[in-house]
Amino acid sequence: MGALHAGHGALVARARRENDICAASIFVNPKQFGPGEDFESYPRTEDADLAMLRDLGSDLVLIGTNEDLYPEEFATRVELKGPLVTAAEGARRPTHFAGVTTVVAKLFGLFEPTRAYFGWKDMQQLLVIRRMVDDLSIPVEVVGCEIVREDDGVAMSSRNRYLDREARMRAPKIHEALVLAARAWQGGERRAERLRAMVREHLHGFDLEYVELRSTSSFEELQDPVGPGRILVVARMETTRLLDNYPLDSLSEGTATVHSDDVRGSTP
């Protein structure tokens, strides 16, 4: 949706390495915002985004307006059913994933890509798109890419720019809490409630929306004894929701730390 940062840059850089042609889209999709969410205030940095994509070697960029993607006669909605879209984010943002799948299905139709690259930070979204592709037999490989983090562990997000100084200083504790639980799991802790409690205890004083353990293939909730998967957390810091997750099966898989100059053209 634009407001690109080095996490997006890593997706583009990987796509550039693995394909003959690399394309990107910039579109703040109104259909995935619910009432009272930040559609109007969502950061829009088109000039900087285009410069970044140019530096990274993207061959083309689609920049859409609402009228381009959803003309007046537009009448289609692509919507999944079941727990994959009603749990976690879906329980709190009930129209969100239908907005995501509708726009992604349209973008796949426009681009006809061989591969599409999405980050593991939005784990549920990645699995929703994979399910849509499987169900509709869309001939595209959906590639999940590691979470890119700041030096202090904060997962990169366009919404991080909403954080004031105090909130930004507290934000690294979210990553610390997830790593703490992952290390406990590696050390043999298999009780789901104990792993969740470790995160909640480390984040005492945070406004937590949820801490969950989920399968990386089905998004089913992991039960005792907890097997490999990911631990997810959403913390609200004033009006900003920070999403993060961490793999239980490895302390390195699914995550990467970059410096500001590691991805050419990255915005601050």
Among 52, 55, 102, 96, CA closest to 77: 102
Say whether pLDDT at 22 is over 50: yes
What pLDDT score was predicted for residue 257?
Answer: 47
Six token digits for residue 192: 């789901």
Q: What is the pTM of this model?
A: 0.91
User: For residues 55 and 4, what is the distance between their CA atoms, to the nearest angstrom?
Assistant: 13
Residue 89 is classified by DSSP as: H
pLDDT tens string 161-183: 999 999 999 999 999 999 999 99
Say whether pLDDT at 144 is over 90: yes
The helix-helix angle for 172-186 and 192-202 (nearest 10°) equals 150
User: For residues 113 and 142, what is the distance between their CA atoms, to the nearest angstrom?
Assistant: 10
Say whether pLDDT at 204 is over 60: yes
User: For residues 102 and 96, what is the distance between their CA atoms, to the nearest angstrom?
Assistant: 10
Say whether pLDDT at 10 is over 80: yes
For domain 6-145, the CATH architecture is 3-Layer(aba) Sandwich (3.40)
Stretch 58-63: mean pLDDT, rounded? 96
39 or 257: which carries more pLDDT confidence?
Answer: 39
In whole angstroms, how far apart are CA 157 and each of 110, 115, 139, 192, 241?
26, 23, 29, 28, 10
**Which one of the listed residues 8, 96, 202, 204 is annotated catalytic?**
8
Same fold, 6-145 and 158-251: no
What pLDDT score was predicted for residue 261?
Answer: 41
Say whether pLDDT at 71 is over 80: yes
Cβ atoms of residues 78 and 131 within 8 Å: no
Helices within the chain (DSSP H only): 6-18, 46-56, 66-69, 83-86, 89-92, 96-111, 123-135, 165-170, 172-186, 192-202
Catalytic residue flag (residue 175): no
Query: Which CATH code is given to the segment(s) 158-251?
Result: 3.30.1300.10
pLDDT tens string 219-267: 999 999 999 999 999 999 988 999 999 999 865 444 554 433 444 343 3
pLDDT tens string 43-53: 999 999 999 99
Residue with tokens 């070697």: 57
Domain edges within the chain: 6-145, 158-251
